[in-house]
Amino acid sequence: MLVTIRIEKGWDIRHATQVATLYEEAFGAKFQRAIPDKKQRILVLSKSFVTEFSFVAYSDDKIVGLSGFNVREGSLTGGIGAKGLIHQLGLFAGLWASAVFSLFERTPKKGELVMDGIAVDSDYRGQGIGSQLLDQIILHAQDNGFNSVRLDVIDSNPRAKKLYESKGFVATKVESFPYLKWLVGFSGSTTMILDLSTLKSLAKAINSAAGAVSQTRLAN
């Protein structure tokens, strides 16, 4: 059944556990080695969110989708560091989790927005919510003067790769690390970049063409 979806930037932190559960559903396998216990993962995630670095999809008042992003000013899951992990998990478990999480860290370059992944409630998939969230990330990057959007898609998620390609993302690097699959849950990833200057040039060309057509009609 199709539902009405609205997309908003940021969300009330009182929804942290709900959002953490959604995030865990999508990405828990990646973090399982860092924090083996699912309830602990959700708790740690709920305390890590910085809500302003995300967009959420609502169905009525329920959050059914999430997309985070990472810029030089911060990131969706940037609210808890090594000290926070040690506080939540204890010294050795916290240090271990911090070491594993560091494998997923991506530092944005100047003028670059790094996308932190898209999570959609399993009951609401197949309705274009992921595509809408991605569109909002791209629009946010354009409106705030970024030159590009970068993301990494894992080798076991070809569906996501097709979505990114449909939006104009181009693969720039493919990495294979089968020896780390036991630790991170996947054996390779593809870095993809959307050049926003290309989109701007295309938009100008379309607008120019539309203007030329309009003038021709007026002349006739």
Query: Residue 31's closest CA among 48, 45, 19, 46?
Result: 45
pTM listed for this prediction = 0.85
Q: Are 120 and 130 in contact (CB under 8 A)?
A: yes
Residue carrying structure tokens 């701007």: 200
| pLDDT at 217 (0 to 100) | 58
| pLDDT at 10 (0 to 100) | 95
| pLDDT at 180 (0 to 100) | 78
Q: Are 7 and 54 in contact (CB under 8 A)?
A: no
Sign of CA dihedral 87, 183, 75, 50: negative
| pLDDT at 209 (0 to 100) | 53
Work out the angle at residue 104's Cα, subtended by the Cα atoms of residues 98 and 108, and round it to the nearest 5 degrees: 115
Specify the length of the chain in residues.
220
Can you give the residue ranges of every domain in the chain? 5-219
| pLDDT at 3 (0 to 100) | 75
| pLDDT at 214 (0 to 100) | 53
Query: Residue 16's closest CA among 57, 61, 46?
Result: 46
Q: What is the pLDDT along the chain (220 residues), one digit of tens a residue?
A: 567 899 999 999 999 999 999 999 999 888 899 999 999 999 999 999 999 999 999 998 899 999 999 999 999 999 989 999 999 999 999 999 999 999 888 899 999 999 988 999 999 999 999 999 999 999 999 999 999 999 999 888 888 899 999 999 999 999 888 887 888 788 889 999 999 987 665 555 455 555 545 555 555 5
Q: Which amino acid is at 78?
A: G
| pLDDT at 30 (0 to 100) | 85
**How many beta carbons lie within 10 A of that of residue 13, not counting itself?**
13
5-219 CATH pick, 3.40.630.30, 3.40.50.300, 1.10.3210.50, 3.30.70.1050 = 3.40.630.30
Provide Rg for the chain, Cα atoms.
19
| pLDDT at 104 (0 to 100) | 87
